[in-house]
Amino acid sequence: MSSGARLAEADAAVARGDLAGAAALIEAVLAETDAEPAIWLKLAGLRRALRQPRRALEAVHRALAHAPLDFVALALRAGLLEKIEPDRAGEAWAEALAQRPDGALPAGLAAAVAQGETLSAAWLAARAARFSAVTANTQASDDEAWRIDRFRSNVLRQTRVWHSEPTHFHYPGLVEREFHPRERFPWLAELEAATPVIRAEMQAALTSQRAELVPYLEYQDHEALAQWKALNRNPDWTALHLIKQGTPIAANAALCPQTFALLEKLPQPPIPGASPNVMFSLLAPRTEIPPHVGVNNARLVCHLPLVVPEGCWFRVGDETRSWREGEAFVFDDTIEHEAANPSDQLRVVLIFDVWHPDLSAIEQQAVAALIEAEDSTESGL
C-alpha cells in the first residue's frame, strides 16, 4: 500500500473511531520516510487522544526538528508538558507564544492558548523575581543599577537590544545607549539652572516680529527621506533656530543672547555646513512625531524641556520618558525614537547637539573633516 493510500485509510479509521488503528497506519508511513511536519503532528494528536502523552511528545519533537518555530507544534508541546512535566510548561508556553501568528485562532487552540498565557505569565513573574533577588546590589551606583536592571529585562525579553542606525554617518565602537547617563555631561546642571532665563528669552523671541519661525523639516519631496514625509513643511512641528547646520541665525540669536552665550560653552560639534544645531522645537497640540533615526552617531542630542503640558512623552528605543520642565537629558538620535504631544497646549523644548563623549579630539577632527568633505545638507537633521 502506498503512503497516500495508508494516510487515506488512517483518515477513514479516525472517522470510524479507531484511533489506535489510524496511529498505526501513520507510523507505518513514517517508518518508510521522514515525512513532513504535518504528518508528525497528526500522529501526535492521535497519541494525545489515546492518552499517550509521552509518545505524543516524541512525535511533536520530530515535527519540530523540521520546523522548530511552528506555532501549532510548539503549542502542542507546551500542552503536553502541562501533563508530563508541569514545571516546564510555563517556559514551553513562553516559547510558543513568542511565535504566535497574527489574527484569530481556532476555538480549540484559542482556549489552550489562553491557559498557556496564564502559565507563561506565572513562569515569567517567578523568573523575574528570582533574577531580581540574585542581582540585587545596594552598592551599585544609579547607572550600574540601571544597567543591571536593563540586563535583567533584556534576558526576560521585556526589552530588546537597540542599535545605532544613522542614515548617513556611522562611527564604529561608540557606546550605544538610548539615554546616556548624566555623569558623562557635567554641564547639564548649569544648563538646567538657566532654565528660567532660557524660557524667558524663548517666550520673548516667539512674540517678536523679528523672529524667524520655520517648519522643523523642510526638504524636497523627491528626496529619500520617507520617515519624515508626514511632517515635511508641516506647521504642527516648527523651530526657532539659533544655529542651523553651523550657521547662526542672526535675527533669532540676537533675541536670545544669554542662551547663546551659555551654549557656546558646551562641547558642540563645529562642522561647517552640518553643525552645531541649536533650536527651540515647538510641537503643536495633538501632534505626533513618528519613529525615525538621525544621520550621525558621532554626535548626541540634548533636550531641555521649557514648556511641557501634561502627558507629553518621548521614546528612544525601549525607554519612554515624560518631558519635565527644567530636566535635561542626552540621547542618541540614531536609535529609533518618537514623540507626542497629546495635550491641547503647545510643547517647547530647547534642542542642540554635542559630541559623543567616547570620541577623542583626533576622532572628532576626522569626523568633522569627512562630513565637511561630504558637504551633506542633510547632516544637520
Ordered DSSP codes for 268-325: ---BTTTB--EEEEEE-TTEEEEEE--SBTTEEEEEEEEE--TT-EEEETTEEEE--T
For residue 282, CA distances in Å to 273, 306, 324, 352 come to 23, 10, 15, 14
Average pLDDT score, the chain: 90
**What is the structure's pLDDT at 225?**
54
97 plus 225 within the same structural domain: no
Residue 168 located in a structural domain: no
The CA distance from 115 to 110, in Å, is 9
Contact assessment for residue 43 and residue 23, using Cβ atoms and an 8 Å cutoff: yes
350 plus 205 within the same structural domain: yes
Is residue 377 pLDDT above 80, yes or no?
A: no
**What is the structure's pLDDT at 230?**
55
Tens of pLDDT, residues 2-37: 778 888 888 898 899 999 988 898 888 888 876 788
The total number of structural domains in the chain stands at: 2
**What is the structure's pLDDT at 340?**
96
Q: pTM above the 0.85 mark?
A: no
Instruction: Report the CATH number at residue 119.
Output: 1.25.40.10
Weakest mean pLDDT among 113-122, 188-197, 208-217: 208-217
The CA distance from 176 to 69, in Å, is 30
Instruction: Report the CATH number at residue 288.
Output: 2.60.120.330
Weakest mean pLDDT among 105-114, 177-186, 215-224: 215-224
Cβ burial, residue 41 (10 Å; 0-12/13-18/19+): buried
Which residue, 85, 108, 127, sits at the end of a domain?
A: 127
Residue 338, beta-bridge partner list: 315
250 plus 360 within the same structural domain: yes
For residue 380, CA distances in Å to 193, 202, 217, 278, 348 come to 27, 21, 11, 10, 20
101 plus 211 within the same structural domain: no
Which residue, 62, 92, 127, sits at the end of a domain?
A: 127
Which residue, 88, 105, 127, sits at the end of a domain?
A: 127
Give residue for cell 544648563: 191
Mean pLDDT of 150-168: 94
Start-to-end CA distance of the chain, whole Å, equals 70
Among 305, 309, 303, 296, residue whose Cα is nearest residue 331 = 303
Is residue 376 pLDDT above 60, yes or no?
A: no
Mean pLDDT of 112-120: 94
Host domain of residue 312: 179-374
Is residue 338 pLDDT above 50, yes or no?
A: yes
90 plus 199 within the same structural domain: no
**What is the structure's pLDDT at 378?**
46
284 plus 347 within the same structural domain: yes
**What is the structure's pLDDT at 167?**
93
Contact assessment for residue 329 and residue 179, using Cβ atoms and an 8 Å cutoff: yes
Mean pLDDT of 161-172: 96
Tens of pLDDT, residues 41-55: 999 999 999 999 999
Is residue 280 pLDDT above 50, yes or no?
A: yes
